[in-house]
Amino acid sequence: MGHGPHRPYVSRRQFVQRTAAVGIAAGAGPFLWQQPGYSAATPVEQIHGQLGQDASREAAFSWMTPGPVRRPFVQIGGERGRAETMQYAGYPGYFHHARVDRLLPDTRYRYAVGHQGKVRSTKAVWRTGPRPGKAFTFTAFGDQGTDVPDPTNIQDFDPLTLQTITHQQPPFQASLNRDLAYSMNPAFHVIVGDTSYANGDQAIWDEWFRGIEKMARTMPWMPCLGNHEIEAAGGLGGFTIPGLGGGDDDSWGPLGYDSYRTRFALPENDDKDWEGNWYRFRYGSVEFISIDNNDVNTEVTANIGYSEGRQERWVKRTLRRAAKDPDVDFIIVLMHPAAFSSGLHGSDPGVRKAWFRLFAKYGVDLVIQGHDHHYERTHLMERAKVVESAEDGHYTSDVGTMYIVSGNGGGVQRGEGLFGGGDFTASIQAMEVGTVKVEVVPDTGRGTKRLVLGEYSATRGGAPIEEGIVIERSLDRGERSSRATEEPEAAASRLVLPSEDPVGPLHETTGGVAALGMGAASTAAPGTTWTRGSGDEEVTELREQRRSDVRRVLRDLR
């Protein structure tokens, strides 16, 4: 079982109750729940663990109770730590989070959760992360959802079969893909946005967490924000729905994120307003950085610019520290809207503008993206330029970033990628749900370190779509550290406008967001060719309005 921890550490945010939201129905007023009495027999469910900033010593454990309970706790290694309780308007349940530190690296612990002095769950095993230098494997995908069809995709159309693609997709793809990832026995799993596709239906959030509970109790799921984590009246996934108004109302918190932020207990980012929206964690010798591209992308504009540059400045500081840290072998970024994609949403210019320079300067090795519902892999890229292409999939350059689209996690397939990729594309696969597996090898014994990647199909029972893709770097890799010691640059721009400083060719699509069957989030007319980021004046106006709205809500909360 390993050694017991010291006294568990609990977050400074003791017993916070989120109450800033109202119901999703148009015109709904505040919704007050009839509170039941405390009951010792109240069950626990949706148990899941998350890594802390230092995965070798820190963890967080989360669960839900359908009614209020007294003294919720986690019991781990013979010690009990008190949990905080959180709630958000529009949902009757209670969420409990216990943050634990001073654990021992690479150690197995048994833990359980409970309340009112009694353990209420079966025990599960948690393994802390290793010290730098040890190999490990993790898995990834985005856009998973549940086995309940996503109503936002019912109008997707496949011109090859004259059917909606919803009708072609085999059933239970979301759970099959979850089980495929579980069978690979990863140290942890990352989901790069659009987790549940609840779109305001809190019962779907519950179903999603119940679905991953078996895996997530022992293998943490580390998320990033996608556009479908924006839950607001009059919109789905940040898109405007004709006839219902805009998709930027504050129905679930100032950004529509309350469901996400209340159900997860993610590493702190030293930003009290936006804790959990972006974060970092160290696992072994890899620095993982999860970012919120809703802040910078120019397609889904509901939350564009809300951080006023705070996220960009944080990412820059975090990348600089990681690039100069001798214990960091690789830097991996997790995000939702993509910098490179040949799918329906395409390559977003706002994402490129925000991150290209930083990723190149500080030597990001791998970026895992979602949003488009297919699998795609780029060559090694520096900004929009291919710096190494490898027909055999073995890359040996010490510079360049590989980008993966892994939005085929289980959501409805849309036929993206059927017509080939861009100049940046090394591999592309449409119409299969699948899981990315990444093996981290800190030392090959030949003076190099490597990432070994593969994509495996849940649609075909785990068959490889491609495997044995290698990013091999020199152990000393002086190029990245020399770039990281350049003179500091000015603070990140607050605005990311697509007309500024073009950063490379963008994917074009027909009909804009209307191709989703959701109504366009741009002024582009249906049936016309629209490049992501067109309409600078509209984007600027939306961003400034959103910033004003966010400031107002934050003032009210304080």
| pLDDT at residue number 248 | 43
Q: In this predicted model, which residue has the larger pLDDT, 506 or 344?
A: 344
The first and second tokens of residue 3, run together, are 């050694």
pLDDT band at residue 10, thresholds of 50, 70 and 90? very low
Of residues 49, 101, 45, the one with CA closest to residue 266: 49
pLDDT band at residue 543, thresholds of 50, 70 and 90? low
Judge whether residue 538 has pLDDT over 80: no
pLDDT tens digits, 258-314: 999 999 999 999 999 999 999 999 999 999 999 999 999 999 988 999 999 999 999
For 146-267, strand residue ranges (E) read 157-158, 163-164, 188-191, 221-223, 231-232, 235-236, 239-240
Q: In this predicted model, which residue has the larger pLDDT, 278 or 489?
A: 278
CATH 3.30.360.10 fits 136-484, yes or no: no
Taking residue 238's Cβ as centre, other Cβ atoms within 10 Å add up to 28
Judge whether residue 363 has pLDDT over 80: yes
Q: What's the longest Cα–Cα distance across the chain?
A: 65
Measure Cα distances from 200 to 62, 242, 320, 370 in Å: 21, 17, 37, 20
- Long-range contacts, stretch 487-491, CB < 8 angstroms, 24+ apart: 489/316, 491/309, 491/313
pLDDT tens digits, 373-430: 999 999 999 999 999 999 999 999 999 999 999 999 998 777 776 667 889 999 998 7
pLDDT band at residue 558, thresholds of 50, 70 and 90? low
For the purposes of burial, counting CB atoms within 10 Å of the CB of 322, is it exposed (0-12), middle (13-18) or buried (19 or more)?
buried
Residue located via tokens 């010691």: 485
Please tell me the distance from the alpha carbon of residue 256 to that of residue 22, in angstroms, as a whole number. 11
| CB contact set of 270 (below 8 Å; sequence gap of 6+) | 314
Pairing of β 279-283 and β 136-141: unpaired
| pLDDT at residue number 537 | 53
| pLDDT at residue number 512 | 26
Please give the average per-residue pLDDT across 316-340, as a whole number: 98
Taking residue 453's Cβ as centre, other Cβ atoms within 10 Å add up to 22
In terms of phi and psi (left: phi > 0; alpha: psi -120 to 50; beta: otherwise), the region of 392 is alpha
pTM check: above 0.85: no
CATH of 1-129, one of 3.90.226.10, 2.60.40.380, 3.90.230.10, 3.30.10.20: 2.60.40.380
Please tell me the distance from the alpha carbon of residue 339 to that of residue 191, in angstroms, as a whole number. 17
Judge whether residue 166 has pLDDT over 70: no
Cβ atoms of 100 and 49 within 8 Å: the answer is no
| CB contact set of 136 (below 8 Å; sequence gap of 6+) | 129, 130, 187, 283, 284, 439, 440
Round to the nearest angstrom and report the end-to-end CA distance of the chain. Answer: 44
The first and second tokens of residue 423, run together, are 């100049």
| pLDDT at residue number 420 | 78
Domain boundaries, the chain: 1-129, 136-484
